[in-house]
Chains A and B, each alone.
Chain A
Amino acid sequence: DAKTTQPPSMDCAEGRAANLPCNHSTISGNEYVYWYRQIHSQGPQYIIHGLKNNETNEMASLIITEDRKSSTLILPHATLRDTAVYYCIVRGGSGTYKYIFGTGTRLKVLA
């Protein structure tokens, strides 16, 4: 079973920030949070990951709560090309290789 819970769908107006939440209440101390997106049926595209500090890169920002039980992916200025399924994945620890994908959040950016 997936270790994360995400809303099944969200809408966002083009040009506005898209805030995608993820709950991972059973996360352990050495587990990272990863975000990927999948556009149509292409291969998942890596967006960002973090352990406990907030992270930012050219694509997005990742905000992790202090207790690490939830996180939010922020796309600062959503475009139509950001319409995709977004997956939040928790993984970490020695010998723990696999990702467990849930069903993700289907984000639709509206013109």
Chain B
Amino acid sequence: NAGVTQTPKFQVLKTGQSMTLQCAQDMNHNSMYWYRQDPGMGLRLIYYSASEGTTDKGEVPNGYNVSRLNKREFSLRLESAAPSQTSVYFCASEGYSNQPQHFGDGTRLSIL
């Protein structure tokens, strides 16, 4: 049982490059989330998708776009990477309201 799978695990980009982070869950969950975590801080919500076909902005959406490709997959795209986007990115999914979110192992992204 894989749970929430994120790819890639590590990536180094140059400023201005674009990239898509992939996330897939196998728990038939309705809601999916993208967070970022900067050193010494808690996670901050970038975007979320309450159900297939819907997406909404979180606390820190600037510089990112998302796609809820189907119920299983939720991708995060950086169109023009900036050094301020160097962070660890976590994807999470959730079945029903008030049930706990389940997190992936993260993507460690460095932008030079």
A97 lies within 8 A of B90 (CB): no
Neighbouring B residues of A45 by C-beta, 8 Å? 103
Per a CB cutoff under 8 Å, which of A41, A46, A94, A98 touches B106? Answer: A41
Using known A-B contacts A43-B103, A103-B40, determine if residue A94 contacts B97 with beta carbons closer than 8 Å.
yes
The size bracket of the interface on B is: 20 to 34
Q: Is B29 an interface residue (CB 8 A)?
A: no
Q: In the complex, what distance in Å separates the CA atom of A44 from the CA atom of B103? A: 6
Contact A42 B33 (CB under 8 A): no
Is the beta-carbon distance between B106 and A43 smaller than 8 angstroms?
yes
Residues of A within 8 A of B62 (CB): none
Q: Which residue of A lies closest to B105 (CB)?
A: A43
Interface of B, secondary structure class, is strand
Q: Interface size for chain A: under 10, 10 to 19, 20 to 34, or 35 or more residues?
A: 20 to 34
Contact call B48/A97, Cβ cutoff below 8 A: yes
Q: Is B66 an interface residue (CB 8 A)?
A: no
Q: Which residues of A contact B106 (CB under 8 A)?
A: 41-43
CB distance from B10 to the nearest CB of A (A): 12
- Which chain B residues (73-100) contact chain A, with CB distance < 8 Å? 88, 90, 92, 94, 97-98, 100
Q: Which residues of B contact A44 (CB under 8 A)?
A: 43, 90, 103
Residues on the B chain within 8 Å of A91, using CB = 98
Give me the 10 closest cross-chain CB pairs, A-B, nearest first. A101-B42, A43-B103, A46-B100, A101-B43, A98-B45, A44-B103, A43-B105, A43-B104, A102-B42, A43-B90
Other A-B pairs beyond A41-B88, A43-B106, A44-B43, 17, CB < 8 Å: A42-B105, A42-B106, A43-B4, A43-B90, A43-B92, A43-B103, A43-B105, A45-B103, A46-B100, A49-B100, A97-B50, A97-B97, A99-B45, A99-B101, A101-B42, A101-B44, A103-B41
